[in-house]
Amino acid sequence: MKPARLPDSDAASQVLWGVDFSSAPSARKPIVVAQGLLIGRVLRLQGLRRLNTLVQFEDWLQTPGPWVGGFDFPFGLPRHFVDSLGLGQSSAEVMAALRRRCATRMDFRALVDQWGNGQPKGQRLLHRRTDAAQQGVSSTSPLQTRYVPVGFMYFEGFSRLLQAQVQVPRMFEPDVSPMPPMPPVPSTLPVQARVALEAYPGLLAYELIGRRSYKNDAGPERLLARKQMVEMLEQGRTRLGLRLKLSPSQAGELVADAAGDHLDAVLCLVQAAWASQQPAYGLPADLDAVEGWIISS
């Protein structure tokens, strides 16, 4: 079956986003949003923007559609954790229950810690099925609230998607109450649809350069890694089969960003572009509506 595609009249107007998220954004560590346009198999990077506060992120989520975005934060929590605490059977129910129990992200950490202290060693930071769906790479547990605080990213990021009434295929349909457990996924976008998908730049990064580091260092080794990644993306050398179109200044900006945030946003953009052309956005039929799924995994 051929991938579902937008009608020609809509294809050029569908905006694509890739979002490198921070649960506590600032001018020093902003949320980075990459904007792109897919024409055939060529993905053109149209620009990068930086959001320094969560309020700016909330405002940006109201950008009129149609658009499809890949967001670098978990859209769900491990099923065993959710069931153990009786949080609900849908993504909206889980988040609502957490928000009732946890006024702040630190309250969420305390809840996770309390639960984890009652679990056997090695079973406190559980993973979802999607976190290890691609051989060779695993994303961080969404229960991790220290070091890389992925749990905070879920708590702050996903709640705002729901508040903004953004469609999350097979997990959340705006203005549907009660939410069906497996809502249908349209093959084409309604005129004003805003669609959010969970992305993970580590998937493409691993495919491009294996386990080499490319972030958080301005040294020559990681600079070279970023340069190689950008060149491979421009050449379309990933299993997603898309070729990234960059201006020389854009390519230089991606390579020069030692934090890797701009490149991560672009990796999420590539995943979103691929998913936008797949039946059901490439999501599995047996997706767990409380765990979610990383696109292209």
Strand-pairing partners, residue 34, are 18, 48
Tens of pLDDT, residue by residue, the chain (297 residues): 233 333 333 444 579 999 999 999 999 999 999 999 999 999 999 999 999 999 999 999 999 999 999 999 999 999 999 999 999 999 999 999 999 999 999 999 999 999 999 999 889 999 999 998 888 888 999 999 999 999 999 999 999 999 999 999 999 998 653 333 334 444 455 546 999 999 999 999 999 999 999 999 999 999 999 999 999 999 999 999 999 999 999 999 999 999 999 999 999 999 999 999 999 999 999 999 999 999 998
C-alpha 105/C-alpha 111 separation (Å) is 10
Burial 96-129 (b: 16+ CB within 10 A, else e): eebeeebeebeebbebbeeebeeeeeeebbbbbb
pTM (two decimals): 0.91
What per-residue confidence (pLDDT) applies to 263?
Answer: 98
What's the pLDDT tens digit per position in 78-120?
A: 999 999 999 999 999 999 999 999 999 999 999 999 999 999 9
Confidence at residue 1, expressed as pLDDT on a 0 to 100 scale:
29
Element (H, E) at 203: helix 201-209
Nearest by Cα to 105 from 62, 66, 50, 142: 142
Within 8 A by CB and 6+ apart from 30, the residues are: 22, 50, 51, 52, 261
Give the per-residue pLDDT at 192. Answer: 67
Separation between Cα atoms, residue 75 and residue 159, nearest integer Å: 9
What pLDDT is attached to residue 182? Answer: 37
Give the model's pLDDT for residue 191: 47
**Locus of tokens 């903004």:** 164
Q: Which residues contact 244 (CB under 8 A, 6 or more apart)?
A: 43, 45, 230, 233, 234, 236, 266, 270
DSSP 146-164: SSS-HHHHIIIIIHHHHHT
